[in-house]
Amino acid sequence: MAERAGAVLRAGSPSALSGYLKAVGAVIWKDLTSELRSRELLGSMLVFALLVILIFNFALELDIRTRQSVTSGVLWVTFAFAGTLGLNRSMAVERERGCLDGLLLAPVDRSALFFGKALGNLLFMLIVAAIILPVYSLLYNANLFLPALAGVIVLGSIGYATVGTLFSAMAVQARTRDILLPILLFPVVLPLLIAAVRATDSILLAIPLAEIRGWFNLLIVYDLLFIAVAIMTFDFVVEE
Amino acid sequence: MIEVRGLAKAYGMRPVLRGLDFRVEPGEFVAVVGPNGAGKTTLLRILSCLARPTIGEVRVAGRRLPGQATAVRRILGVVSHQPLLYGELTAQENLRFYGRMYGLTNLEARIEEVLDVVGLAARRHDLVRKYSRGMQQRLAIGRGILHNPELLLFDEPHTGLDPEAADVLDGLLTKVSSEGRTVVMTSHDLGRAAGLGSRVDILYGGVIARSVQRAEIPADELAKLYRQVTHG
Amino acid sequence: MQPMPKTLKILNGVTAVLLLVALCLVFLYAPREAIMGDVQRVFYFHVSAGWVGGLAFLVTAVAGVIYLIRRQSRWDLLAVASVEIGIVFTFINIASGSIWARPAWNTWWTWDPRLVTATIMELLYVAYLMLRQGIDDPDRRARFGSVYGLAAFLSVPITFLSIRFFRTIHPVVIGSNDPSAQGAFDMTPRMLQAFLFSLLTFTFVYVTLVWHRVRLGRLAEQVEQRKMEMLTA
């Protein structure tokens, strides 16, 4: 019995890091595989994002002049709303059939679970952005294919997915679940959204990058700070 | 294998376990029985490192909890009343996922082996969402034994099963526990618990009120004792 | 139920006297500001309330961290007590600021970084209370409160920076000077004295209130415990 266990289990841990990364990878793989099959999460995020853009179109009368000044706002509001939808769904999956316990039973550090979930959420947000941007460009004849803009979206999404994953893990354990996440999340990610909107705006107005470096710095500082907070506190959110 | 001394757990002001002592020797099959709300699940959640004890000493395989939880998790297999499986993944994918979480090598071969044991090899490519409750629970056992744990914890594994499926499950539980593993199972069903366990512990009032070797006591006496403890 | 500790009784008295003196200083001792007139007197308690709000939320963050390390419910009691008081004082801060802004800036509300940050801070801690309300298990409630209290507090300075930044490098410049510069004034020594005394007084008010609130929380815990004993006996 013991020998068999030894044969199956990796002897000792020759490389703790590779086991850690393997666990992170396994969580991402699991989320992607089931998502590619059901398309529940990405599907609802995308449809919702398109609807938001359409509503903005009529609510703001996006003619050429106003469009230029509100594009960045419309885009980020869309990402943020679609993002909460995805975050809620991604954590709700772990609640079904007790899967969160299953994750917690695995002999890996809890931060590996956090990174797995957060990276999965980040990936979903980026996929939505990658689809929404060309659609927006097409609908409103605006060129959004700018490398700097991609940078802003990645930095913004990292912070959003980090804080969002941490808070959604709390929200799913509360009675008020789905409605709780945006209330917890929005006031905390406000600086991130301000920075992202302003940076996007400046990029679309073709302001030289040197002048908007401040916004990039702010995004980076926010991302790093909250990644640190999330790693330190995730244990307390999932234990009992 | 398991040594628990003076274990107490309270959820806020509500005490669930009050100074519980509990010992399990290697190779034993202990059934913990008690009425609903007696703290059976709480005890198992503490043993499986999912909940922290409020006070008290808990050792599993010589390691202290919750301090050395990661090491304990490696040798622990848990089957709960929920299957802990992902509905949008197939049986094989579910096992593959958990196998990777445990860092298993030779994973594909082991998955085949486990699917054979739980009798789901033919349906390995079906989504778990489409499984019946009984099949989900069988696959849950497969997930529990995937990494060949020395210690198995079953938390009300029969929940939601019809008698027929429960009998199939009993057979399977006996099979996986006969391979030299130590088992602790909780149940509110005395009959099933007594049928499986080599020792029966009655959990009542937050402590182990009585502990009897199954071989030393006939079934009807055990039932009488159980009524006495839980109603007297 | 244990009687009120002696220190708390003394503190009650001291705080009451301080508050009275502070009122006298603000309304009688400090001179009337030349341009804005009497409405400037809002300033003393306005800033003090803001200070207490910030202090209270800092205490919540620190108490939360200590709770996560030590797991003693009294730290969680302190954290909630502090949030509740912080919310009230931040509200006083925003409302009194609005009263002052009407004559000074000729508007009840402007998108000034300080104003917006104070309001976001208020919303953060309302969210904090809503999170707690949604959770029944007291341990979990305390843990989540601690985590959220820390994350919320850390986000406040970044929010302030980003809103301030928003003004300075916004491509379309709205007005060249900082709106808060309007209505600025130089403090005379007497004003400074009244101001510092108000800060001190409000800090005392905060400590006294937190103490009472923590005591109340403890009593509630004891009631809960008695109830459990009755039910399980």
Crossing angle for the helix pair B107-117 and B133-145, nearest 10 degrees? Answer: 140
Q: What is the 3-state secondary structure (H, E, C) of A97-138?
A: HHHHHHHHHCCCCHHHHHHHHHHHHHHHHHHHHHHHHHHHHH
Residue C2: the pLDDT is 74
pLDDT tens figures, A113-151: 999 999 999 999 999 999 999 998 888 888 888 899 999
Closest CA to A188 of B46, C63, C151, B104: C151
- Interface size A-B, in CB pairs within 8 Å, comes to 115
Residue C169: the pLDDT is 44
Amino acid sitting at position B219: A
Instruction: Give, as one character, the DSSP assignment of residue C137.
Output: S
Closest CA to B55 of B199, B206, B187: B206
Residue B215: the pLDDT is 83
CA B209/CA C164 separation, integer angstroms:
65
Mean pLDDT of A151-166: 97
CA C63/CA C80 separation, integer angstroms:
9
- Band of pLDDT at residue C184, cut at 50, 70 and 90: low
Q: How many CB atoms are closer than 10 A to CB B43? A: 30
Q: Which chain B residue is nearest to residue A34, measuring alpha carbons?
A: B88
User: What are the domain boundaries of chain B?
Assistant: 2-231
pLDDT tens figures, B139-157: 999 999 999 999 999 999 9
Residue C227: the pLDDT is 83
Long-range contacts of C217-225 (CB under 8 A, 24+ apart): C217/C77, C217/C80, C217/C81, C218/C74, C218/C77, C219/C1, C221/B13, C221/C73, C221/C77, C222/C1, C224/B12, C224/B13, C225/B13
Mean pLDDT of A20-46: 93
Contacts of B12 in chain C (CB under 8 A): 137-139, 224
Distance to chain A for B148, nearest Cα, Å: 5
B208 by DSSP, 3-state: which?
strand
Q: Which residues contact A19 (CB under 8 A, 6 or more apart)?
A: A10, A13, A108, B103
Continuous segment of H or E residues that includes residue B115: helix B107-117
Residue to mutate among B11, B14, B42, B50, with most C CBs inside 10 A, is B14
- Band of pLDDT at residue C185, cut at 50, 70 and 90: low
Cα-Cα end-to-end distance for chain B = 32
Is residue A74 scored above 80 in pLDDT?
Answer: yes
Greatest Cα-to-Cα distance within chain B, rounded to the nearest angstrom: 54
CATH class of B2-231: alpha beta
Q: State chain C's mean pLDDT as an integer.
A: 87
Q: How many CB atoms are closer than 10 A to CB A66? A: 11
Token code pair at residue C159: 């929010």
The sign of the torsion formed by the CA atoms of A138, A142, A143, A145 equals negative
Continuous segment of H or E residues that includes residue C43: helix C42-70
- Band of pLDDT at residue A12, cut at 50, 70 and 90: very low
Lowest-confidence pick of A126-135, A176-185, C157-166: C157-166
Q: Considering chain A, what percentage of its residues have pLDDT values greater than 70?
A: 93
Q: How many CB atoms are closer than 10 A to CB B170? A: 16
Contacts of A103 in chain B (CB under 8 A): 101
CA A5/CA B194 separation, integer angstroms:
29
Mean pLDDT of A172-187: 91
- Band of pLDDT at residue C181, cut at 50, 70 and 90: low
Q: Which residues contact A12 (CB under 8 A, 6 or more apart)?
A: none
Phi, psi torsion values for B202, nearest 5 degrees: -100, 120
CA B183/CA B159 separation, integer angstroms:
18
CA C139/CA B9 separation, integer angstroms:
11
DSSP characters over A201-214? HHHHTT--GGGGHH
Of A173, A177, A229, the CB nearest to C154: A229
| Adjacent-strand bridge partners of B8 | B55
Mean pLDDT of B18-28: 92
Contacts of B13 in chain C (CB under 8 A): 138, 221, 224-225, 227-228
Is residue B57 scored above 80 in pLDDT?
Answer: yes
- CB contact under 8 Å between A99 and B150, yes or no, is no
Query: To which residue do tokens 């302030």 refer?
Result: C160
Q: Would strands B182-187 and B29-33 be described as parallel, antiparallel, or unpaired? A: parallel
CA A180/CA C72 separation, integer angstroms:
26
CA B88/CA B86 separation, integer angstroms:
6
Q: Which residues contact C118 (CB under 8 A, 6 or more apart)?
A: C50, C53, C90, C93, C94, C97
Is residue B228 scored above 80 in pLDDT?
Answer: yes
B26 by DSSP, 3-state: which?
coil
Domain that holds residue C55: 41-170+188-232
The C residues from 123 to 142 touching A (CB cutoff 8 Å) are: 123-124, 127, 130-131, 133-136, 139-140
- Band of pLDDT at residue C1, cut at 50, 70 and 90: low
Give the total number of structural domains in chain C.
1
Q: How many CA atoms lie within 13 A of C162 on its CB side?
A: 28
Q: Which residue has the higher pLDDT, C167 or B152?
A: B152
Query: To which residue do tokens 């999330």 refer?
Result: A230
Residue to mutate among A100, A184, A186, with most C CBs inside 10 A, is A184
pLDDT tens figures, C45-75: 999 999 999 999 999 999 999 999 998 989 9
Is residue A230 scored above 80 in pLDDT?
Answer: yes
Is residue C173 scored above 90 in pLDDT?
Answer: no
CA distances from C199 to B107, C203, C211 (A): 66, 6, 18
Contacts of B133 in chain A (CB under 8 A): none
Is residue C172 scored above 70 in pLDDT?
Answer: no
Whether residue B66 lies within 8 A of chain C, CB to CB, comes out as no
Q: Which residue has the higher pLDDT, A155 or B163?
A: A155
Token code pair at residue C10: 């003394």
- Band of pLDDT at residue C107, cut at 50, 70 and 90: confident
Whether residue C139 lies within 8 A of chain B, CB to CB, comes out as yes
- CB contact under 8 Å between C228 and B15, yes or no, is yes
Residue A8: the pLDDT is 37
CB B153, CB B78: distance < 8 Å:
yes
| Alpha carbon C1 to chain centroid, angstroms | 29
Contacts of A106 in chain B (CB under 8 A): 73, 98, 101-102
Q: State chain B's mean pLDDT as an integer.
A: 90
CA A115/CA A22 separation, integer angstroms:
11
DSSP characters over B65-113? ETTTHHHHHHTEEEE-SS----TTSBHHHHHHHHHHHTT-SSHHHHHHH
CA B106/CA A30 separation, integer angstroms:
19
Q: Which chain A residue is nearest to residue C118, measuring alpha carbons?
A: A187
Whether residue B15 lies within 8 A of chain C, CB to CB, comes out as yes
CB A231, CB A113: distance < 8 Å:
no
Distance to chain A for B192, nearest Cα, Å: 24
pLDDT tens figures, A88-121: 999 999 988 889 999 999 999 999 999 999 999 9
Whether residue C72 lies within 8 A of chain B, CB to CB, comes out as no
CA C4/CA C2 separation, integer angstroms:
7
CB A201, CB A161: distance < 8 Å:
no
Residue C233: the pLDDT is 59
Distance to chain B for A32, nearest Cα, Å: 10
Burial code of C58-88, b = ≥16 C-beta within 10 A, e = fewer?
ebbbbbbbbbbeeeebebbbbbbbbbbbbbe
Mean pLDDT of A53-60: 86
- CB contact under 8 Å between B70 and A101, yes or no, is no
For residue B66, whether the previous peptide bond is cis, meaning omega lies within 30 degrees of 0, is: yes
Residue to mutate among B79, B86, B94, B98, with most A CBs inside 10 A, is B86
- Band of pLDDT at residue C22, cut at 50, 70 and 90: very high
pLDDT tens figures, B172-223: 888 888 888 999 999 988 888 888 888 999 999 889 988 889 888 888 888 8
User: What are the domain boundaries of chain A?
Assistant: 16-238
pLDDT tens figures, C110-132: 777 888 889 999 999 999 999 99
CA C151/CA A192 separation, integer angstroms:
14
Contacts of A99 in chain B (CB under 8 A): 84-86
